[in-house]
Amino acid sequence: VEVQQHSIQQHDLVWPLPLHRPYNSMLTSTIADCQNCSTTGQAGTITAALFLDKFVAQETSWMHLDIPGEHEQALQGSKTGGNIEGVRAVASFLKEKLAL
């Protein structure tokens, strides 16, 4: 929620997605404990977060940023082309939290 507030201030919108546990079935593998991407090609952002969740202690707060490589058109606060979507919001949040 705090990062979301910073995202609005920075015109760098982010939003929470659910860790929808039934999607864990998309990470199954016949040769490994799990794989790092969906077997179906769907729900990539959520399955990426579910993969990372397997390696983070339950009491640890964390976030997954699914950063797009580029924008075909300019958006408020960003230019056409390569982008670091979400990074400005997180940087603003950390700057406040760490009193920088």
The string of pLDDT tens digits covering residues 28-69 is 999 999 999 888 888 999 999 999 999 999 999 898 888 776
- Closest alpha carbon to 85 in 71, 72, 97: 71
pLDDT at residue 78 greater than cutoff 70 = no
Q: Please give the pLDDT value at position 41.
A: 84
CB of 14 closer than 8 Å to CB of 7: yes
Please report which confidence band the pLDDT of residue 77 belongs to, taking 50, 70 and 90 as the band edges. Answer: low
Average pLDDT, the chain: 88
* Residue bearing the bigger pLDDT, 9 or 1: 9
Task: Determine the Cα angle at 17 with ends 11 and 19, to 5°.
Answer: 155
Q: How much is the pLDDT for 86?
A: 87
- Residue 11: how many CA atoms within 13 Å on its side-chain side? 6
Domain boundaries, the chain: 2-97
